Amino acid sequence: MTEIKNRYDFVLLFDVKDGNPNGDPDAGNLPRVDPETNHGIVTDVCLKRKIRNYVLLTRSGQAGLDIFVKEKGVLNRLIDSAYADLKIDLTKPPKSEKDGKKRNKEDQGQGSEVEAARGQMQRTFFDVRTFGAVMSTGANAGQVRGPVQLTFARSIDPIVALEHSITRMAVATEAEAEKQGGDNRTMGRKNTVPYGLYRAHGFISSQLARQTGFSEEDLGVFWEAVKGMFEHDRSAARGLMSLRKLIVFKHAGELGNAPAHMLFDLVTVSRKDEAKPPRDFSDYAVVTGQSPQGVETIDMPLM
């Protein structure tokens, strides 16, 4: 594996048409919004989920590219597996005296055992190397601070959340059918955003990448997943979601050659016609300014 020797910052632009990009379960699954400005929000967790799902779909069975936080997963089982792979028996006292002469907690690793288990988890799971993980539950594999971090995505303009009445031409039970006299209709609600262009920011630290083992090869998988995460995450509720821009700032050095916020300010997104409500990406103009010395701007091809 090739070590990452550059810092990266990046801007993601994606949009949604007639869909709900990230429902809020505390608000009846309405699209998430900033209540003060009505700008739409998509959480970093939502974006990471799509990236994880893409890697799981396209790299299933490949060594080192498994996913730790799977849908319906049981995390402690995977931590137990790391100890089993290392042949560390947590029912017995630690092998090394520097880890103690007895178990501080039953069936839980301690000292260098935790470090070994953390290393095993990093080698096995792509998302642990990438985003980090809290693995101090169960057998205890410690915590990992990931080199790749994402912000919440926020819409460029305020969004309008629409509520649509929908009809299902069937009922679930015989009792419902009898009650309706054979009409067999049920009513429901569907919430959508007519159109929203969202912007998120991301950061990649070469120092943290070295600690977790996140490599140039992993970085290639990550960029591929970002480009393809919406293509394999379709649902009736989400409408049409599309990645529109991936603008990457590659620093010449590991510590970086400019503050991230200054680089993000170089990317401006503006409406072409303020009097017309936006309904397509073509309604916006995206301009990227000249990057400072020591920073390369890469407008990533999306195919």
Note whether residue 166 is domain-resident: no
Note whether residue 180 is domain-resident: no
Q: Is 33 left (phi over 0), alpha (psi -120 to 50) or beta?
A: beta
Q: Of 278, 283, 270, 274, whose CA–CA distance to 196 is shortest?
A: 278
pLDDT at 195: 98
Note whether residue 183 is domain-resident: no
pLDDT at 90: 93
Note whether residue 36 is domain-resident: yes
Note whether residue 287 is domain-resident: yes
CA distance 84 to 129: 20
CA distance 260 to 225: 22
pLDDT digits (tens, 9 = 90+) for 89-148: 999 999 888 888 898 998 999 999 999 999 999 999 999 999 999 999 999 999 999 999
SS3 at position 295: strand
Residue 267 has pLDDT above 80, yes or no: yes
The number of folded domains in the chain is 1
In one-letter notation, the amino acid at residue 289 is: G
Q: Of 175, 200, 184, 155, whose CA–CA distance to 38 is shortest?
A: 155
Q: Give how far Cα 198 sits from Cα of 32, 40, 45, 153, Å.
A: 12, 8, 15, 6
User: What does DSSP assign to residue 116?
Assistant: H
Range of the domain at 125: 8-160+190-299
pLDDT at 173: 86
The pTM for the full model equals: 0.93
Instruction: Confirm if 31 and 249 have CB atoms less than 8 A apart.
Output: no
Note whether residue 170 is domain-resident: no
pLDDT digits (tens, 9 = 90+) for 186-240: 888 899 999 999 999 999 999 999 999 999 999 999 999 999 999 999 998 999 9
Note whether residue 88 is domain-resident: yes
Residue 167 has pLDDT above 90, yes or no: no
pLDDT at 186: 81
Note whether residue 100 is domain-resident: yes
Mean pLDDT for all residues in the chain: 95
CB-based contacts of 277, cutoff 8 Å, min separation 6: 194, 195
